[in-house]
Amino acid sequence: MISLALSTFLASIIFFAIALYRKKLHELKNPLLWKYIIGITVFIGILYYAFGFYGLTKTTAGNASIIGLFEVFTSFVLFHIIRKEPFSLESKVGSALMILGAATVLFPNFSSINSGDFFIFLATFCAPLGNLLQQKAKKISSTETILFLRSIIAAPFILLLAYVFKQNLELPQIKDSFIFLVINGIFILGLSKILWLEGISRISVTKSNALSSIAPLFTLFFAWLIFSQAPTVWQIASLIPFFFGVLFLTDNLKLKY
CA distance 138 to 146: 8
pLDDT in tens, 103-115: 887 777 676 778 8
pLDDT number for residue 119? 92
Which residue numbers in the chain have pLDDT < 70?
Answer: 109, 111, 257
Give yes or no for a contact between 219 and 227, defined as CB atoms under 8 angstroms apart.
Answer: no
Tell me the Cα Rg of the chain.
19
Percent of the chain with pLDDT over 70: 99
pTM: 0.82
pLDDT number for residue 143? 95
Question: Could you give the C-alpha distances from 229 to 61, 80, 169, 222, 224, in angstroms and in order?
Answer: 16, 39, 34, 9, 4
pLDDT number for residue 50? 84
pLDDT number for residue 109? 67
How many CB atoms are located within 10 Å of the residue 31 CB? Answer: 6
